[in-house]
């Protein structure tokens, strides 16, 4: 058994295994890059880079392949065993060891980001404020209670990633002690349009209040997909109400249960931040005589616990605060005139490993630099010796 | 620009009350009938005139640059080179050419400065091509016969996405653009050639006195009087004399009409430093027309300067004085705005032709290297090759340094500059390798790399035909990241390419029996390949990670699987495969060389190919029209790999037979 484990460790640590993993990695990165032209980044990322396995098609041939995620896991094993633990420790290999440690840090940062980071955007018009940011691609169903005194309050959130698995033959039911009814997602559409049903045609999906959802092919830019779904609400007495939720709908689908009004809306997933952000002013400057922006920046007020702090966020100068990073990402509306009211979009990221790559980069640089100079010095000395002899 | 509503309304009122017959003939412009332009240049431009004109500052593409640079790229775009030979045999460089276009349009219309690459274009627009080569130059006068057809086809083809157009369709669209630009250029000073009639009514006589015609600048200076006149006519209502209204309307419309062709070059800096945009004569006239106010004293003086130059163009000494006066006015204003300090340096940069000179010297170095192969005992040839390489490298570095100073930027901020930088780093590394091992390989490679890359830079500049020092998009407005990430990653490209070039020596040398039996030589070449790969890996890995850190600061994510990022990652992965393969014993010297040639293809993919995909966030680096060149390169390199494999197979077979 120990012999088997030894052989396994040898195999996992070998240069051959490194080469195989790197070759697969190279092919996947290349194929994923080329496929972005037709399918956009989001789809390609899901298929090649965030997956454990995938099927790559070359014409009529389907080739099963490991995904980049699996490759990175195996690389971490190969690197740890072969490049760190079993590496012969000597001054001549110190650089390699340090560089491998740096790569390991980089991989670790990547894993932390993948599993624990959230990212989205906060878009504000001048004068507006917010304490939450929303996803570019992810959706959620928000069940909201409407009350005359306190306005509205979100009572229950349904994760779109779970709800998207619903099919007419296998709907998904959600219930919670916070709400006096159940919500069943009957069918989910990744990209859809809500259309009125006319008398001159039939549709293969349910029609609710004269409207139906028409499936659309996924957009190349995934953030332009508009999700939609059919829901069924059932109260404790067994009374059911059918409804359509659509991502671009301005008003929630409302139901009355036990004399109270509830709303359900399909919206981009949101995350709260523990402070409030107000956009005071947004400025954009153009290169003279052109439509090309030379710089754009936002003045915000960060309010927390009654304390207000003015902050400037500009391109390449983000705000890092309490584990959140706010980047000046874009602005609009497109084609606006100088007097128009502008909005500013901040990319917001919460990534526990935010500075990991920077530290890893420094470590790798030190390791490789040491190794290269060491090698160069040895080569130089050998050449001098040779010339002298 | 503010447009007081009342005044705008007044101008509108004047227009609305005017009789219809006062409309001008919109076809009355120069390019409709080239023979209308009177003057012809009788003698060559004096060097002093060219020197002065070259350094006239203009604002174009978001930055202030010399007129010479503007002319240079306008010419390059139309002509494919920076010189044109007139029918009289005179060779004109950019400044002389643009002076002729502006001041002697009838003459310039006969210069063969439109490059047409195929006869099909001429056949499509029904222009006679008798006596012309397939790829030849044509004058405006020759092409103007097919002008209408050209614009019709260009309009039709421009609706097709560029990548879906056929080569002929693309050329027709580009030729259409070039013709339009040329027309804008020759019409630019048309306002100065056509004085305005100002005595057609009593009211106008009161404003302008006895003069029957006045220049645009004088009319604009009297705009407040014209405004008062319009107000008074408005107050009189229907009682206002018809001929007064018509005369005023005609003059105002003539102002607009005559100035509207002067849109191409922003030559008039505002005195107010807070105003970022320079003005064209059209904009100056438009603002005066819309506000009823006279332009600023400085702008009127500059406008009058342009008119004076046109008026005196037939008399060289007087013209020179007028040019000096205009140059001084523009210079003073732009100096006050702190926009003139780099102008003369930029003129020097283009006059110095550093890149072309460097290319020529690398060619000379290669010549000596080649002679050294034929006469290995003549040591002087080696020294000459080294000397030429060093001077060529110094010239290239001087050119890059001047560009940095002119732009106040690190060495690389555009694709064009990556070529120059890679050439500089590649040559330097090859020369260092030569200094260490003295095998003459580094010397030869330095000259080959320098020649090939600078030739490529020239070709790319001609193909794009746009300013190679453009304004940068907001995300690139950071000298820190340009100096670190961009410089480091491009150094990684240079090392990868150098490894590939050295590997060619190994593979082709083995194939053709160069220094046959000299194992030591091939061992040394192989070590050089290995060294270049190690050097490349250091810079590629660090550069790639720094790019991620920059992306994390500007776009909010370290890694987004964007094509440009993936390209850089591919280089790192391939270099890691080579090094791990070598350590594991899977790749020996020969295999490393074949792999290094493939590595060159990976670098080309990352450097150029991903920019053709036109997807991802690195949109500022997108380019087009290089697919054929890239695939030719891939094809050649695959051929070299195949030849390398044949050399290896032959050697292996020989060893087996011997055994």
| pLDDT value of position A192 | 95
- Out of A19, A317, A325, whose CB is closest to B577? A19
A258 pLDDT above the threshold of 60: yes
pLDDT at residue B31 tops 60:
no
Average pLDDT, chain A: 90
CA B609-B613-B619 angle, 5° bins: 100
Q: Flag whether pLDDT at A108 surpasses 70.
A: yes
The verdict on A335 and A363 lying in the same domain is: no
B584 touching chain A per CB within 8 A: yes
B-proximal residues of A, 306-345, CB under 8 Å: 315-318, 325, 327, 329
Residue B508: predicted pLDDT: 92
Report how far residue A257's alpha carbon sits from residue B337's, in angstroms, rounded to the nearest whole number.
70
A83 and A40 share one domain: yes
Over residues B246-268, the mean pLDDT reads 89
Which pLDDT score is estimated for B624?
67
Output the CA torsion sign for A374, A379, A385, A387.
negative
User: What's the pLDDT score for residue B241?
Assistant: 82
B3 touches A at CB < 8 Å: no
Region B156-180: mean pLDDT is 91
Chain A residue with minimal CA distance to B265? A289
Question: With an 8 Å Cβ cutoff, are A18 and B580 in contact?
Answer: yes
User: Pick from A14, A290, A387: which is nearest to B61 by CB?
Assistant: A290
Q: Is the pLDDT of residue B416 over 90?
A: yes
Residues 15-54 of A with CB under 8 A from B: 15-16, 18-19, 22-23, 25-26, 29-30, 32-34, 36-37, 40-41, 44-45, 49
A235 Cβ contact list (under 8 Å, min separation 6):
A180, A181, A257, A258
Instruction: Tell me which DSSP letter residue A138 carries.
Output: E
| C-beta of residue A78 within 8 angstroms of C-beta of residue A21 | yes
Asked if residue B1 has pLDDT above 50, the reply is no
**H or E element: which one contains B498?**
helix B487-512
As a whole number, mean pLDDT of residues A350-374 equals 90
B617 or A52, which is more confident: A52
Domain count, chain A: 3
Highest mean pLDDT among A285-294, B253-262, B593-602: B593-602
Cβ distance of B542 and A365 shorter than 8 Å = yes
Residue A87 backbone dihedrals phi, psi, to 5 degrees: -65, 130
Residues A334, A261 within the same domain = no
Give pLDDT, residue B34: 41
- List the 143-182 stretch of A: residues with Cβ below 8 A of B: none
Of A286, A315, A358, the CB nearest to B477: A315
Number of A–B residue contacts, CB under 8 Å:
166
Q: Are residues A254 and A149 in the same domain?
A: yes
Instruction: Return the percentage of chain B with pLDDT > 70, whole number.
Output: 92
Mean pLDDT of the region A124-131: 94
Q: Determine the pLDDT at residue A83.
A: 86
Are A293 and B613 within 8 A, CB to CB?
no
pLDDT digits (tens, 9 = 90+) for B452-471: 999 999 999 998 889 999 98
User: Model confidence over B294-318: pLDDT tens digits?
Assistant: 999 999 999 999 999 999 998 999 9
Answer yes or no: do A324 and A383 share one domain.
no
pLDDT tens sequence across B467-515: 999 988 887 877 788 888 999 999 999 999 999 999 999 999 988 888 8
Which ranges constitute the DSSP H helices of chain A? 2-13, 15-44, 68-78, 94-116, 160-163, 356-388
Residue B545 forms contact with A (CB below 8 Å): yes
How confident is the model at residue B35, as a pLDDT? 42
- Among chain B residues, the shortest Cα distance to A121 is held by B556
Q: Cβ of A364 and B545 within 8 Å?
A: yes
Inter-chain residue contact B478 with A287, CB threshold 8 Å: no
| A39 and A65 belong to one structural domain | yes
What chain B residue is nearest to A297 in terms of C-alpha separation?
Answer: B474
Percent of chain A with pLDDT over 70: 98
What digits encode the pLDDT tens for the residues B558-574? 888 889 899 999 999 99
| Minimum Cα–Cα distance from A95: chain B residue | B538
* A381/chain B closest Cα distance in angstroms: 9
Confidence band (pLDDT; 50, 70, 90) for B321? Answer: very high
- Between strands A118-125 and A253-257, the pairing is unpaired
Kindly list the distances between the CA atom of residue B552 and the CA atoms of A108, A316, B320, B653, in Å, as whole numbers in the listed order: 17, 9, 55, 53
Percent with pLDDT over 90 in chain B: 63
pLDDT at B209: 86
Whether A357 and B61 lie within 8 Å, measured CB to CB: no
Torsions phi, psi of A208, nearest 5? -120, 125
Q: Identify the residue among A47, A112, A289 best suited for mutation to test binding to B, counting B beta carbons within 10 A and taking the highest.
A: A289
Q: Do B556 and A358 touch (CB under 8 A)?
A: no
Q: Of how many residues is chain A composed?
A: 389
Task: Report the distance separating Cα A30 and Cα B490, nearest Å.
Answer: 20
> Could you tell me if A238 and A291 lie in one domain?
no
Cβ separation of B545 and A348 shorter than 8 Å?
no
Chain centroid, CA B586 distance in Å: 47
Angle between helices B223-236 and B242-259 (to 10 degrees): 140
- pTM for the model stands at 0.85
Phi (first) and psi of residue B273, to 5 degrees: -65, -20
B contact residues 60-119, partner A, Cβ 8 Å cutoff? 60-63
- Calculate the alpha carbon distances from B283 to A165, B260, B450 in Å: 60, 8, 46
pLDDT at A114 over 80: yes
Residues of chain A with Cβ-Cβ distance to B3 below 8 Å are none
Q: Alpha-carbon distance A113 to A320, whole Å?
A: 16
| C-alpha distances out from residue A140 to A134, A264, B408, Å | 10, 10, 49
**Minimum distance, in Å, between the CA of residue B473 and any CA atom of chain A:** 6
| pLDDT of res. B259 | 87
Residue with tokens 């600023």: B296
B156 and chain A in contact, CB less than 8 A:
no
**Poorest-confidence range of A324-338, B389-403, B490-504?**
A324-338
Rounded distance, CA B43 to CA A28, Å?
Answer: 66
Q: Tell which residue, B616, B621, B614, B620, has the closest CA to residue B473.
A: B620
Residue A152: pLDDT over 80: no
Confidence at B405, pLDDT banded by 50, 70, 90 = very high
Write out chain B residues lying below 8 Å of A354, CB-based: 552
In the predicted structure, residue B21 carries a pLDDT above the cut 60: no
The Cα-based distances of A69 to A24, A73, A115, B572 in angstroms read: 12, 6, 12, 18
For the segment A208-234, what is each residue's pLDDT rounded down to a tens digit?
999 999 999 988 888 899 999 999 999
What pLDDT, on a 0 to 100 scale, did the predictor assign at position B167? Answer: 87
Contacting residues for B33 by C-beta, under 8 A, at least 6 apart = none
Nearest residue, CB atoms, A293 vs list B474, B541, B562: B474
B189 min Cα distance to partner chain A (Å): 20
Judge if A220 and A314 occupy the same domain: no
Residue B28 has pLDDT above 50, yes or no: no
Domain boundaries, chain B: 43-188, 349-468, 477-659
Domain match, A289 and A331 both: yes
Weakest-pLDDT range from B9-23, B232-246, B365-379:
B9-23
Residues 6 or more apart in contact with residue A203 via CB below 8 angstroms: A197, A212, A214
| Domain final residue pick, A250, A271, A292 | A271
Check the CA dihedral A40-A43-A45-A49 and report its sign.
negative
Reported as a single tens digit per residue, the pLDDT across B531-553 is 999 999 999 999 998 888 888 87
Please report residues of B whose CB lies closer than 8 A to that of A361: 542, 545-546, 549
A19 vs B278, B560, B580: nearest CB: B580
Residue of B274, B580, B591 best to disrupt the A interface, most CBs of A under 10 A: B580
B 586-645 residues inside an 8 A Cβ radius of A: 586, 605, 610, 613-616
Q: Among partner residues B276, B475, B478, which is closest to A288 by beta-carbon distance?
A: B276
Q: Do A258 and A168 fall into the same domain?
A: yes
pLDDT band at A290 (very low <50, low <70, confident <90, very high): confident
Residue B84 pairs with which residues in a beta bridge?
B92
Residue pLDDT, tens place only, B189-230: 999 998 998 888 888 888 888 888 999 999 999 999 998 888
Q: What is the mean pLDDT of residues B424-437?
A: 92
**Best mutation target, B545, B565, B579, to test chain A (most A CBs within 10 A):** B545
pLDDT mean across residues, chain B: 88
Mean pLDDT score, B422-438 = 92
Kindly state whether residues A333 and A383 are assigned to the same domain.
Answer: no
Residue B458 to residue A158: CA distance in whole angstroms: 59
Residue B634 predicted with pLDDT over 90 = yes
| Nearest chain A alpha carbon to B432 | A380
The residue of chain A with its CA nearest to that of B531 is A376
- A contacts of B570 (beta carbons < 8 Å): 26, 29-30, 33
Judging contacts by C-beta atoms under 8 Å, the chain A residues touching residue B561 are 32-33, 36, 41, 44-45, 49
Q: Give the structural domain span for A151.
A: 136-271
Domain co-membership, A182 together with A282: no
B432 shares contact with chain A (CB less than 8 Å): no
| Residues 110-139 of chain A whose Cβ lies under 8 A from any Cβ of chain B | 110, 113, 119
CA distance A363 to A357: 10
Nearest chain A CA: its distance from B138 CA (Å): 31
User: B487-512 and B415-437 helices cross at what angle (nearest 10)?
Assistant: 60
pLDDT of residue B583: 92
Mean pLDDT check: name the lowest of A86-100, A348-362, B253-267, B616-630.
B616-630
pLDDT confidence of residue A279: 96
Using CB atoms, pick whichever of B527, B546, B550 lies closest to residue A379: B527
- Cβ distance A365 to B558 less than 8 Å, yes or no, reads no
Indicate the pLDDT class of residue A257, thresholds 50, 70 and 90. confident
């Amino acid at each position: 058994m120990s012999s088997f484990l030894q052989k396994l460790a040898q195999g996992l640590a070998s240069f051959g295994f490194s080469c195989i993993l790197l070759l697969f990695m190279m092919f996947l990165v290349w194929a994923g890059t080329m496929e972005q032209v037709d399918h956009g980044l989001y789809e390609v990322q899901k298929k090649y880079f965030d997956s454990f396995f995938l099927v790559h098609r070359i014409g009529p041939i389907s080739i099963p392949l490991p995904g980049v995620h699996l490759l990175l896991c195996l690389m971490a094993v190969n690197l740890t065993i072969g490049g760190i633990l079993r590496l012969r420790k000597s001054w001549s290999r110190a650089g390699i060891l340090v560089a491998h440690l740096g790569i390991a840090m980089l991989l670790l940062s990547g894993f932390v980001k993948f599993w624990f980071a959230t990212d989205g955007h906060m878009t504000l018009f001048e004068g507006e404020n917010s304490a939450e940011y929303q996803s570019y691609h992810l959706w959620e169903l928000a069940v909201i209670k409407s009350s005359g005194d306190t306005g509205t309050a979100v009572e229950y959130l349904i994760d779109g990633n779970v709800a998207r698995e619903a099919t007419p033959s296998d709907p998904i039911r959600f219930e919670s002690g916070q709400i006096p009814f159940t919500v069943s997602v009957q069918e989910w559409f990744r990209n859809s349009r809500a259309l009125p049903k006319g008398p001159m045609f039939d549709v293969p999906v349910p029609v609710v209040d004269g409207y139906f959802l028409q499936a659309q092919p996924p957009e190349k830019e995934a953030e332009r997909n508009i999700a939609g779904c059919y829901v069924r609400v059932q109260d404790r007495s067994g009374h059911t109400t059918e409804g359509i939720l659509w991502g671009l709908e301005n008003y929630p689908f409302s139901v009355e249960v036990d004399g109270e009004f509830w709303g359900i809306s399909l919206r981009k997933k949101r995350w709260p931040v523990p402070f409030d952000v107000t956009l005071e002013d947004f400025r954009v400057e153009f290169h003279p005589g052109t439509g090309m922006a030379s710089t754009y920046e936002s003045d915000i007020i960060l309010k927390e616990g009654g304390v207000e702090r003015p902050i400037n966020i500009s391109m390449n100068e983000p705000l890092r605060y309490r584990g959140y990073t706010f980047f000046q990402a874009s602005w609009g509306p497109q084609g606006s005139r100088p007097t128009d009211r502008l909005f500013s979009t901040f990319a917001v990221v919460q990534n526990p490993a935010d500075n990991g790559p920077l530290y890893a980069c420094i470590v790798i640089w030190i390791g490789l630099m040491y190794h290269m100079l060491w090698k160069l010095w040895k080569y130089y000395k050998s050449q001098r010796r040779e010339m002298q002899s | 620009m503010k447009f007081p509503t009342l005044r705008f309304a007044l101008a509108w009122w004047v227009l609305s009350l005017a009789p219809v017959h006062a409309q001008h003939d919109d076809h009355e412009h120069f390019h409709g009938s080239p023979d209308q332009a009177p003057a012809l240049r009788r003698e060559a431009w004096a060097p002093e005139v060219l020197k002065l004109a070259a350094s006239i500052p203009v604002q174009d593409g978001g930055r202030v640059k010399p007129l010479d640079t503007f002319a240079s790229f306008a010419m390059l775009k139309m002509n494919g080179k920076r010189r044109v030979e007139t029918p009289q045999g005179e060779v004109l460089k950019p400044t002389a050419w643009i002076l002729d276009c502006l001041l002697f349009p009838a003459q310039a219309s006969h210069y063969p400065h439109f490059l047409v690459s195929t006869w099909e274009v001429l056949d499509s627009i029904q222009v006679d091509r008798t006596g012309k080569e397939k790829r030849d130059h044509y004058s405006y006068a020759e092409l103007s016969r097919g002008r209408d057809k050209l614009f019709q086809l260009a309009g039709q083809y421009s609706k097709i996405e560029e990548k879906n157009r056929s080569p002929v369709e693309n050329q027709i669209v580009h030729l259409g653009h070039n013709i339009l630009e040329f027309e804008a250029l020759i019409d630019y000073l048309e306002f100065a050639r056509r004085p305005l009639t100002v005595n057609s009514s009593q009211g106008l006589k009161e404003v302008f006195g006895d003069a029957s015609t006045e220049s645009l600048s004088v009319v604009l200076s009297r705009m407040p009087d014209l405004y008062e006149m319009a107000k008074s006519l408005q107050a009189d209502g229907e009682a206002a004399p018809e001929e007064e209204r018509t005369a005023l309307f005609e003059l105002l419309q003539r102002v607009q009409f005559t100035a509207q062709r002067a849109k191409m070059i922003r030559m008039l800096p505002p005195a107010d430093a807070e105003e970022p945009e320079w003005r064209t004569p059209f904009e100056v006239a438009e603002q005066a027309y819309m506000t009823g106010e006279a332009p600023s004293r400085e702008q009127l003086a500059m406008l009058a300067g342009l008119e004076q130059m046109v008026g005196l163009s037939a008399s060289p000494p007087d013209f020179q004085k007028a040019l000096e006066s205009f140059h001084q006015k523009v210079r003073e204003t732009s100096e006050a705005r702190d926009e003139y300090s780099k102008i003369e340096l930029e003129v020097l940069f283009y006059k110095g032709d550093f890149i072309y000179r460097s290319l020529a010297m690398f060619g000379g170095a290669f010549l000596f290297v080649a002679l050294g192969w034929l006469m290995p005992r003549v040591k002087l040839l080696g020294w000459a090759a080294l000397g030429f390489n060093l001077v060529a490298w110094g010239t290239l570095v001087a050119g890059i340094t001047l560009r940095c100073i002119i732009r106040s930027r690190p060495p690389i901020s555009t694709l064009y500059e990556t070529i120059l930088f890679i050439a500089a780093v590649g040559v330097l590394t090859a020369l260092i390798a030569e200094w260490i091992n003295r095998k003459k390989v580094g010397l030869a490679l330095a000259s080959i790399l320098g020649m090939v890359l600078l030739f490529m830079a020239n070709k790319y500049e001609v193909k794009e035909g746009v300013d190679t020092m453009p304004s940068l998009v907001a995300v690139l407005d950071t000298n820190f990241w340009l100096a670190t990430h961009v410089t480091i990653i491009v150094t990684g490209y240079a090392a990868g390419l150098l490894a590939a070039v050295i590997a060619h020596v190994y593979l082709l040398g083995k194939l053709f029996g160069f220094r046959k039996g000299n194992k030591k030589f091939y061992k040394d070449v192989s070590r050089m390949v290995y060294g270049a790969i190690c050097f490349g890996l250091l810079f590629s890995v660090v550069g790639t990670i720094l790019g991620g850190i920059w992306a994390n600061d500007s776009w909010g994510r370290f890694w987004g699987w964007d094509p440009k990022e993936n390209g850089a990652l591919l280089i790192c992965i391939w270099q890691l495969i080579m090094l791990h393969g070598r350590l594991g014993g899977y790749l020996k010297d020969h295999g490393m060389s074949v792999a290094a040639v493939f590595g060159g293809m990976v670098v080309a993919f990352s450097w150029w190919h991903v920019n053709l995909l036109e997807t991802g966030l690195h949109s500022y680096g997108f380019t087009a029209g290089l697919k054929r060149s890239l695939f030719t390169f891939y094809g050649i390199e695959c051929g070299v790999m195949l030849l390398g494999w044949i050399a290896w197979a032959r050697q292996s077979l020989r060893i087996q037979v011997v055994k």
